[in-house]
Structure 1
Amino acid sequence: MEPLTLGIVVLAGMLLAVFAGVPVGYALLGAGTIGYAILGGVSQALTQIGLVLWDNGTNFLFIAVPLFILMGQIIFHAGLADDIFSVAQRSLRRLPGGLGISTVLASAGFGAVTGSSVAAVATMGNIAVPEMVKRGYSEKLATASVASAATLAILIPPSIPLVIYGVWSETSIGALFIAGIVPGLILTLFFAAVLLLQRRQYPAISKTPALQPRRLSAMLVGVLTIAAVAVIVIGGIYAGIFTPTEASGVGVLAVVILAALSRRLTLAVLKASLRETVSTSAAIFLILAGGVVLSRFLVQTRLTEAVVGVVAGPDVPPQVLMLALVLVYLFLGAIMDTFGMLILTLPLVLPITVALGYDPVWTGIYLTVLMEIAMITPPIGLNVFILERATGVPAQRIFTGVWPFVVAALLLVVALIFFPQIATWLPDTMRR
């Protein structure tokens, strides 16, 4: 069998395995291993697996992934996110739709210190949805706004997907983090605008009971301290004081001290945080390793080169091709999880975007926004199903409410395609 034909067959087999319910990490690793075994023999396949596991397992940059996850898990299990939502809620209580907007802002703030959309939707689902329904918001809008706003956690730095993208593509993770700030703020404003436009689904003014000054002061101290952690982590990366990996360690230390001072760092919190960190990190590492094995195999078959030649060859404006690529990601988001989608497509998409003249940093932000959309669209919609478990609201009902937020995210994608400076301006200032 010709190498190019073999590459196509193996890629199709991998997609069929995902359709059949095989976990993405196993499908990627299995397809790459089988392909290598057919192409160069079993010995070469085993050698490649060993090299990939060693290279990625000893990669200093990858240390940032479990550390950022641990930082988010401690904030989640220690209940520190409650303070962010409560302060935002009371600050906007006189604004129509203020409770919904406070949910969006709290999700953005929570994302700025966690980088995990899963942690954000689980946390805000338990905190915000009951409060919004209690204050007169429709169940559909309450759940849809939480599921959508939680995706901000993977765009606003620190971001776990951006770390994975940076490790795989050998792109500066610091530049990727800084590049996510402006698009993240724009999408936050878009989501707030979507809430304001749905006036029929919430009361004119949502009455919020006043807090005792002492309790409110304690919340403000907690929020300001968490904000300080975010500023130190991102500001330190921007100023070149420390690398993203060092920033992840600083962030964990700061959050541990914060939780200890507020007397929320119990043994149970620490155990739960470490358990979730190990589980999530292992799953991500398997997907990353499997994706690298498969991508190296596809390069050997020259499939990557062939796809780049077909896509980048015709005299078609780059913007049109990037808009067409959005449809591909919407399809892939319907059959696999976000990390699998990212790792599977990188070997083909990154060379295409570079050939079309787009910066690799821009590509990372572009793909992350598309991953956000995949997290709230059926039938996978990871955030929606996590929220279903957290609140008991059927996933089908949540899906009916997310489409205005999907449109808002697609508007950001279009803006990024036609105005790449939205993502590249701030990292350029950092480089200078």
Structure 2
Amino acid sequence: MADLAVGGVAVVALFALVVLGVPIAFSLFVASLLGMLLLTGSVEQTAVLVSNTVLGGVRDYVFAVIPLFILMGAFMSHSPAARYLFDVARLVARRLIGGLASATVFANGIFGAVTGVSVASAAIFARIAVPEMVARGYDKKLALGTVAGSSVLGMLIPPSLLMILYGVLANVSIGTLFIAGIVPGVLLALVYVLTITAIGVARPERVGRPARPGRIATASPTSSSSAATEPTGTGCSSPALPTARTTVEDVSAARTMVRALPIGALIALVLGGIWLGWFTPTEAAAVGASGAFVVAVGYGMRTRAIVSAFRESAVSIGSIMLLLIGAQLFSRTLARSGLVTEMTNRITDSALSAGMVVLLFVVVLIVLGAVLDSSSILLIMVPLMAPVVTSLGLDPIWFAIIVIVAVEVGLLTPPFGMSPFAMSAVLGDRATVGEIFAGAMPFVLAMLLTLGLLAAFPPLVTWLPSLLG
């Protein structure tokens, strides 16, 4: 069999296995082994290639950034950081139309800067923000959609797990990707706020009643259970969500800000350290993990939560490293077959413009996002796309952000969007997956608008990294 045909067989085998429900890591390994066997015709040579990839695949110093940032996010997820950020965001956004929903967007974006995982943000803010909004008369679907939509900010505002994966797979600077994600992340958050404001102007009843100025509803971060009662408000529908487990009290703005100050300081230290050249991304990840541990313990994280954070991190790290090894093995198979080179040459020689090629890739990514998780899409598609982008002379940093935004759209789209399912798991029968998907649709449109702006105006992505020299 010709080498090019072997590469095609490997790609088809991979997608077939994924469609059949085989875990993506095993699908990558099986497709790669099949391709290598057909290319070499020798079990011994295939074993040598696989062992070299496994041994050398994740030994590079840069790979330490993955477990360290995952650990940083785990510590923050096991602390009341999200609650404190929500209080601050609510204070800042209280006079906006739909201020509580806008506060959720702001808080979720900042929380994403210390976790980097969208699904975790969706689950946490489903507990915190959705009951608050429904209790204040917000439309239930809008409340659900706001949390689902803003959760994707965690993958765009650095540090982001998807940025780390993309940087490793495409050999692009992770630190530069982190800096490049700041402006697009802020832009997406602002587009979300404008979307909420537009909904509030057109349908005031969907954003409830504004809270009295100077008063902030707060909750004890340690409260984990209380009786659920039927909330009142114009936007509530059955089955009802519980009212927020909160008491209304006067809290000074200074105290509210001070409680969240350590989180802001940690974010500034990690990102500022990378920007100013104090740390490499790996060193920044170590500083972030250590700082997150100190902050979380200061917020009240105890031994059981610490053990749980390490356990969850170990599971995530093992899964991601296995995926990365499989992806690198698959990349070597495609490179050895010559398929990537042939595809690059054909696209370069075709009549398609660079813009049309990027549009084609974006459409494919969005379609895949409806059936695969974000990490799996990157692991499959980046080895195919990155060489083409390089041959077309496109900015690899700009394209990386375009890819990440396109992939994140899939987190909110049916049938398998991960964020709605994570929220459904937390809320149980109080909110259906269908309601969450429906509520997220305005935010999907907002993401597509933002994606169009980033594609039309590349400096939105490249300007900040250019300041690094």
For residues 168-213 of structure 1, give each alpha carbon's deviation from its aligned partner in whole angstroms, at most 9, with x where no partner exists.
Answer: 2221111110000111110110111111122222225245545344
**Which letter does structure 2 place at the counterpart of 1:338?**
S
C-alpha distance in structure 1 between counterparts of 2:434 and 2:322, whole Å: 30
Q: Which moved more, 1:195-204 or 1:79-88?
A: 195-204
Runs of at least 4 residues of structure 1 off by over 4 A?
Answer: 206-210
Alignment RMSD: 1.6
C-alpha distance in structure 1 between counterparts of 2:99 and 2:157, whole Å: 22
Counterpart for residue 139 of structure 1: 140
Counterpart for residue 24 of structure 2: 24
C-alpha distance in structure 2 between counterparts of 1:409 and 1:335, whole Å: 18
Q: Which moved more, 1:13-22 or 1:251-260?
A: 251-260
**Which letter does structure 2 place at the counterpart of 1:138?**
D
User: By how many angstroms is 1:88 displaced?
Assistant: 1.2
1:338 aligns with 2:339: no
C-alpha distance in structure 2 between counterparts of 1:417 and 1:241, whole Å: 31
**Which letter does structure 2 place at the counterpart of 1:9?**
V
The percent of aligned pairs where both chains have the same amino acid is 36
For residues 198-242 of structure 1, give each alpha carbon's deviation from its aligned partner in whole angstroms, at most 9, with x where no partner exists.
Answer: 22222252455453447x655422311100100110001001011
Counterpart for residue 255 of structure 1: 292
User: By how many angstroms is 1:49 displaced?
Assistant: 2.2
C-alpha distance in structure 2 between counterparts of 1:358 and 1:195, whole Å: 34
SS in 2 for 1:358: coil
Counterpart for residue 277 of structure 2: 240
Counterpart for residue 173 of structure 2: 172
User: By how many angstroms is 1:147 displaced?
Assistant: 1.0
CA contact (8 A) 1:24 1:336 kept: no
C-alpha distance in structure 2 between counterparts of 1:337 and 1:227, whole Å: 30
Counterpart for residue 55 of structure 2: 54
User: By how many angstroms is 1:363 displaced?
Assistant: 2.0
Counterpart for residue 203 of structure 1: 208
Tell me the TM-score normalised to structure 2 length: 0.88
Counterpart for residue 447 of structure 2: 409
For residues 285-325 of structure 1, give each alpha carbon's deviation from its aligned partner in whole angstroms, at most 9, with x where no partner exists.
Answer: 12111111111101111111122122222233211221122
User: By how many angstroms is 1:265 displaced?
Assistant: 2.2
Unaligned runs of 5+ in 2: 218-247
**Which letter does structure 2 place at the counterpart of 1:255?**
A
Q: Which moved more, 1:283-292 or 1:314-323?
A: 314-323
C-alpha distance in structure 2 between counterparts of 1:60 and 1:211, whole Å: 49
Structure with bigger gyration radius:
2
1:185 aligns with 2:186: yes
**Which letter does structure 1 place at the counterpart of 2:439?**
G
For residues 94-136 of structure 1, give each alpha carbon's deviation from its aligned partner in whole angstroms, at most 9, with x where no partner exists.
Answer: 3220000000000100011121112211111111111111111
Decide which of 389, 398, 405 is 1:353's aligned counterpart.
Answer: 389
Decide which of 401, 404, 418 is 1:368's aligned counterpart.
Answer: 404
User: By how many angstroms is 1:367 displaced?
Assistant: 1.2
SS in 2 for 1:78: coil
CA contact (8 A) 1:323 1:414 kept: no
SS in 2 for 1:21: coil
C-alpha distance in structure 1 between counterparts of 2:105 and 2:251, whole Å: 25
Unaligned runs of 5+ in 1: none
CA contact (8 A) 1:34 1:45 kept: no
C-alpha distance in structure 1 between counterparts of 2:459 and 2:191, whole Å: 18
1:425 aligns with 2:457: no
CA gap 1:383/1:317 in 2 versus in 1, 3 angstroms: same
Kindly report which structure 2 residues correspond to 1:85-234, keeping only aligned pairs within 5 A, or say none.
85-199=86-200, 200=203, 201-206=206-211, 209=217, 210-213=248-251, 217-234=254-271
SS in 1 for 2:415: coil
CA contact (8 A) 2:136 2:209 kept: no
CA contact (8 A) 1:56 1:62 kept: no
User: By how many angstroms is 1:407 displaced?
Assistant: 1.5
CA contact (8 A) 1:136 1:206 kept: no
